[in-house]
Amino acid sequence: MLKIRLMGTKSDIAWFQKILSSNNKIEVLEVSEFYSNKGTRKYYRAYAQVQKVNLKKDN
């Protein structure tokens, strides 16, 4: 499992969350809410937990 910190504007973070969710090689376990960064009103951060999907099928 990987824990990822996403930083950027709200729209940039939402855009990347869609990319993560649409990738069939990873499973998004959890995505946090937006947190504002100190000293700015433009940039935020969010946290995601992802894991690799095993695409091999047992015969």
Kindly report the average pLDDT of the chain as a whole number: 92
Per-residue pLDDT, 59: 52
- Residue found under tokens 């095993």: 54
Q: Chunked in runs of 10, what are the mean pLDDT values of the chain (59 residues)? A: 96 96 94 94 96 76
Residues 31-42 pLDDT 10s: 999 999 999 999
Of the candidates 47, 55, 33, the one whose C-alpha atom is nearest the C-alpha of residue 4 is 47
Q: What is the pTM of this model?
A: 0.81
Domain ranges of the chain: 2-52
